[in-house]
A = this chain, B = another copy of it.
Amino acid sequence: MLSITGTLTLTAKVGRATIRQVASAAGVSTQTVSRVINERPDVSAETRSRVQGVIEQLGYRPSALARSLVQQRSYTLGVVTAGLRILGPSRTLAGITAEAAAAGYALLLEELPRYDLDDTAPIFEALLSRHVDGIIWAVPEVGANRNWIDRRPVQPEVPIVYLTMEPRQNMWVISIDNYLGARLAMDHLLARGFRRIAHIAGPLDWWESRQRMAAWRDALQDAGLEAGDKCWTEGDWSSASGEAAADKLFQQYPEMDAVFAANDQMALSVLHQAPLHGRRVPHDLGVAGFDNIPESAYFRPALTTVQQDQYNVGKVAVEEITRIIEAAWKGVATIEPKSIMLAPTLVVRRSSDRLANDDEGGGTAYE
């Protein structure tokens, strides 16, 4: 029977055994313990079970930190987000957490205090100093907050996947196709017979807002319809701004017969303002939104809107970045960066049904 005092460090803290303590208690070398915890085949069954017994008994837990240091690989992803207070980014984050867990990666999270932050160096420093294997930049493209990209070295230390932005050369970008989504909504309104369709844009320093607005304009122009300055106005995503925007449109474009709002919150305000201007939705005014927030099926009337799968954006981002990391690790020739555009879908509800029967006003939303 081996004395436990052997090479045991006497000052060992309670509750945190080291590989050396395990080795000594099991009467083997640290290397053998390492082989056991990494499930390597070249350990005899007898030794393995003995070591495993000691591990259990001592409550030993390998240090991912030490492992990362020696392997120069941390199985950790850096995630930079912004605007967690609103729902979109958190959904993307949910997709990231789920897929990262499945892929065996931990997540180091940073949230930008503002969307329009240009000095991103400290964020990268913080992440890289902790040896992340890759970075997911899940910040919407707003204003000039992508300028720093052009200042970055051509070969970054770790792969970076960018979300929610205009695809660019030589970069990994994963976005929802906002233009397509808005186009789906517009084509639907046109097909339903609406002709004078107004637009409440999101803040136009957002790339997503510009995409949605471009689709609105193109759809009208392609149909030979009017899309002049009086036909649209800008909001800031909030219901409050939507209210002001709706009032403005009723004033400057009274002949409009439909409104396409850049998100559901602003569309909600249109639903509420319409009756005050003597319009019934959808008979006198068609309305469509964007996002498909959970409540939109319960607006009155239920809101036709564009569904974007933000959860999936996060999921795909992790899938891609882990592929890149694994490839680089295996020494595969650098993978060519590509952009991925995910297609949104249209959810048709009552707010765009101009021939709707008045009687079926309540009850469940139909989709």
Interface residues of A (CB under 8 A from B): 14-16, 61-66, 68-69, 74, 76, 79, 84-85, 87, 89-91, 93-94, 97-98, 101, 106-111, 113, 125-126, 128-131, 153, 155, 157, 238-240, 242-243, 265, 268-269, 272-273, 275-276, 294-295, 297-298, 300, 311, 362-364
Would A294 and B276 count as touching, CB distance under 8 A? no
- Copies of this chain, how many? 2
Whether A295 and B84, one on each chain, are in contact in the complex, defined by CB atoms closer than 8 angstroms, is no
Report whether A294 and B239 are in contact in the complex, using a CB–CB cutoff of 8 Å.
yes
Separation in Å of the A352 CB from the closest CB of chain B?
19
- Pairwise interchain contact A294-B311, C-beta atoms closer than 8 A: no
A108 in complex: contacting residue of B16, B101, B107, B311, CB < 8 Å = B107
List the B residue with the shortest CB-CB distance to A130. Answer: B64
The distance in angstroms between the C-alpha atoms of A66 and B129, with both chains bound, is 9
22 contacts between A and B (CB under 8 A): A15-B157, A63-B69, A64-B130, A64-B131, A65-B129, A65-B130, A69-B69, A76-B130, A79-B109, A84-B91, A85-B94, A87-B87, A97-B109, A97-B110, A97-B111, A106-B108, A106-B126, A238-B294, A239-B294, A268-B295, A272-B362, A276-B362
Q: Which residues of B contact A61 (CB under 8 A)?
A: 125, 128-129
Which listed residue, B93, B129, B239, touches A64 by the CB 8 Å rule? Answer: B129
Chain B neighbourhood of A300, CB < 8 A = 272
Given A111-B101, A239-B294, A243-B298, A84:B74 Cβ within 8 A? no
Which residues from B are CB-within-8-Å of A79? 109
A298 to B293, CA, bound (A): 15
Q: Give the Cβ gap from A240 to chain B, nearest Cβ, in Å.
A: 8
Q: A153's contact among B15, B76, B273, B275, by CB below 8 Å, is which?
A: B15
CA distance A64 to B129 in the complex (A): 5
Residues of B within 8 A of A363 (CB): 276
CB distance from A254 to the nearest CB of B (A): 18
Distance in angstroms between the alpha carbons of A297 and B265 in the assembled complex = 11
A298 CB → nearest B CB, Å:
4
List B contacts of A275 (CB < 8 A). 362
Do A239 and B295 touch (CB < 8 A)? Answer: yes
Minimal beta-carbon separation of A221 from chain B (angstroms): 32
Question: CB-CB < 8 A to A94: which residues of B?
Answer: 84-85, 111
CA distance A275 to B301 in the complex (A): 13
Residue of B nearest to A300 (CB): B272
A-B pairs with lowest CB-CB distance, top 9 = A90-B90, A97-B111, A239-B298, A84-B94, A64-B129, A109-B109, A107-B109, A276-B362, A64-B130
Cβ of A311: which chain B residues have Cβ within 8 Å of it? Answer: 85
Q: Which residue of B lies closest to A242 (CB)?
A: B298
Complex CA distance for A128 and B16, rounded to whole angstroms: 10
Rounded to whole Å, the gap between the CB of A366 and the closest CB of chain B is 13
Tell which of B128, B276, B297 touches A239, judged by Cβ atoms closer than 8 Å: B297
Q: How far is the CB of A126 from chain B (nearest CB, A)?
A: 6
A68 to B298, CA, bound (A): 51
Cα–Cα, bound, A238→B107 (Å)? 30
Contact across chains for A268 and B298 when beta carbons are under 8 A apart: yes
**Nearest neighbor of A66 in chain B, beta-carbon distance:** B69
- CB neighbours (8 Å) of A68 from chain B are 65
Assess the B97–A90 pair: CB atoms within 8 A.
no
CB distance from A159 to the nearest CB of B (A): 13
Q: Known: A87-B90, A90-B87, A294-B265. Is A131-B63 also a contact (CB below 8 A)?
A: yes
A328 CB → nearest B CB, Å? 12
